[in-house]
Amino acid sequence: MRKSRLFAFLLIMALLVGVLAACGSDGGEATSTPAATDPPTDTPTATPDDPVDPTPNDPVDPTPDDPGVDTSPVTIKWVLWDYATIVYYRPLIAAYTAVNPWVTIEVVDLPSATFMTDMATQLSGGDDYDVLTIKDIPGYANLIKQDRMEPLSGYGIDTGAYGGVVEQISSNGEFYALPFRQDFWVVFYNKDIFDAAGVAYPTNDMSMSQYDELARSLASGSGADKIYGAHYHGWRSASSLFSILDGKNTVVDGNYDFMKPTYEMVTKQQDDGIVMKLADIRASGLHYSAAFYSGQIAMVNMGSWFIPTLIAACANGDIETPEAWGIVKYPHPDGVAAGTTLGTITSLAVNKNSEARRKEVAIDFMQFVCGDKGAAVLASVGQFPALKNDTVIGFLSAMGGFPDDANSKEALNVTQAYLEMPMSDKSGDIETILNEEHDGIMLGEKSIDEAIAAMNERVAELG
């Protein structure tokens, strides 16, 4: 490693420690402000044993003494949402500007609920944003259609480092964004319930049939003493997307016959009292966190975003025995590698129409955030970066309150993550159709065959 790169990274980490020691928040919606450097500090943090080797994706060594860097002052605009409350924005900006002090990053904060629509509208109106945060696939597809984003294939980016995710968001052989955050699904389990039942804990290599058998072996009792073997939150993704884990189908393909075995499993679990019925969950407004905190749920499948929340709940006393939980990798179909799971991403893109110098800096900032250095910053504030390596896994598993067993740490290693909603210009309409027919199945209003036939017919009508 070159000394300038090592110095740059150590400077990043030193500054990050100062940033995380500070406290405060500001911002708001639909505002533009130079970035501050004091993030909220309610997310657990950790320190790596060894510094991360800075990202190989950086086009230049971002140090002032590199003669190839234009160090004249420049300001770029980063459009995002919830600047005041999302913990990672300020540390990322602070880390980048620490080694690129000639760069000012101006934050434009738009409302979260309508973010992608508002950003697209403002770009159409000529707003000069440089770095674009991509919140969802339908909005991303719309920006491709409008030709708003810089094509990235010509920048020498190693897309292989993202485990196939970039290929899933490519369009006609081109990609326009890089993921910097990636949440993935795991199984959370209550060790006390397993111990009381005399059942061995789940493993990191669990087939779908083993998962079903395990859930059935743990369900017991009734009324106030009822123990459920597993739990599915009200989202369609929680109970139906086991069906895409073999990599042979996606939810935008147009034919949904492949989902029948999954629906047969989960509806039988409902009928047999192994899991709560969706109708009861909806009627009570039960959140998956409250279900797990109750001590009546042996396993719940949920995204990695639940880990910091669960750690905080343990620290706050919301869980009676905070040490009694762990995580394992998602269950997988037979013949599919352990560590195959569902994923959601947050990405960065660059405005195609940015002024040349600003575009150059925006590309560099995007690669910084989406590369190894950005990954280390994200992990240090308890977030899950799209790029994962041993140091990043060390950050995450060293969070105070994270389970201390080896299986929980290993569960953070993902083999393959399939996007819940992959790239399609019809993804928004498909989502609506699938949600409606899914509810028909899970609420007992339609048979599985009737609902799947309706999915096939209605999606075909989209053209």
Q: Convert 309-322 to b/e letters by CB count within 10 Å (16 or more is b).
A: ebbebbeeeebeeb
**Furthest-apart CA pair in the chain: how many Å?**
72
Domain spanning 185-341+421-460, CATH architecture: 3-Layer(aba) Sandwich (3.40)
Q: Give me the residue spans of the domains in the chain.
A: 3-183+344-397, 185-341+421-460
Cα 136 to Cα 114, 242, 386, distances in angstroms:
11, 21, 15
Task: Provide the pLDDT for residue 345.
Answer: 95
Name the band, by pLDDT with cuts 50, 70 and 90, for residue 64. low
Task: Provide the pLDDT for residue 360.
Answer: 97
pTM to 2 decimal places: 0.80
Task: Provide the pLDDT for residue 163.
Answer: 83
Per-residue pLDDT of 381-396, as tens digits, reads 889 999 988 888 988 8
What is the spatial distance between Cα 121 and Cα 97, in angstroms, rounded to a whole number? Answer: 29
Q: Decide if 3-183+344-397 and 185-341+421-460 have a common fold.
A: yes
Which three-class secondary structure string do you get for 37-89?
Answer: CCCCCCCCCCCCCCCCCCCCCCCCCCCCCCCCCCCCCEEEEEEEECCCCCCCH
Task: Provide the pLDDT for residue 41.
Answer: 31
Task: Provide the pLDDT for residue 428.
Answer: 85
Per-residue pLDDT of 128-171, as tens digits, reads 999 999 999 989 999 999 999 999 999 999 998 898 899 999 99
Per-residue pLDDT of 261-284, as tens digits, reads 999 999 999 999 999 999 999 999
Q: What is the mean pLDDT of residues 206-234?
A: 97
What is the spatial distance between Cα 173 and Cα 297, in angstroms, rounded to a whole number? Answer: 44
Task: Provide the pLDDT for residue 254.
Answer: 96
Per-residue pLDDT of 360-387, as tens digits, reads 999 999 999 999 999 999 998 889 999 9
Q: Is the pLDDT of residue 3 over 60?
A: no
Half-sphere exposure of 42 (CA within 13 A, CB side): 11
**Contact status, residue 123 vs residue 146, Cβ threshold 8 Å:** yes
Percent of the chain with pLDDT over 90: 73
Task: Provide the pLDDT for residue 317.
Answer: 82
Per-residue pLDDT of 239-257, as tens digits, reads 999 999 999 999 999 999 9
| Sign of the alpha-carbon dihedral angle for 52, 58, 62, 66 | positive
Neighbours of 460 (CB within 10 A): 10
Task: Name the residue with higher pLDDT: 363 or 6.
Answer: 363
**DSSP H helical segments within 335-389, as ranges?**
356-370, 372-380
Secondary structure element (H or E) that encloses residue 454, with its range:
helix 448-460
Percent of the chain with pLDDT over 70: 85
Q: What is the mean pLDDT of residues 435-462?
A: 98
Instruction: Of 38-42, 64-68, 328-332, give the range with the top mean pLDDT.
Output: 328-332
Right CATH number for 3-183+344-397 from 1.10.10.10, 3.40.50.10610, 3.40.190.10, 3.40.50.2300?
3.40.190.10
Task: Name the residue with higher pLDDT: 209 or 163.
Answer: 209
Task: Name the residue with higher pLDDT: 115 or 41.
Answer: 115
**Contact status, residue 333 vs residue 207, Cβ threshold 8 Å:** yes
Name the band, by pLDDT with cuts 50, 70 and 90, for residue 399. confident
Task: Provide the pLDDT for residue 92.
Answer: 98
Per-residue pLDDT of 300-358, as tens digits, reads 999 999 998 898 888 888 777 767 999 999 999 999 999 999 999 999 999 999 999 99
Name the band, by pLDDT with cuts 50, 70 and 90, for residue 53. very low
Mean pLDDT estimate for the chain: 87
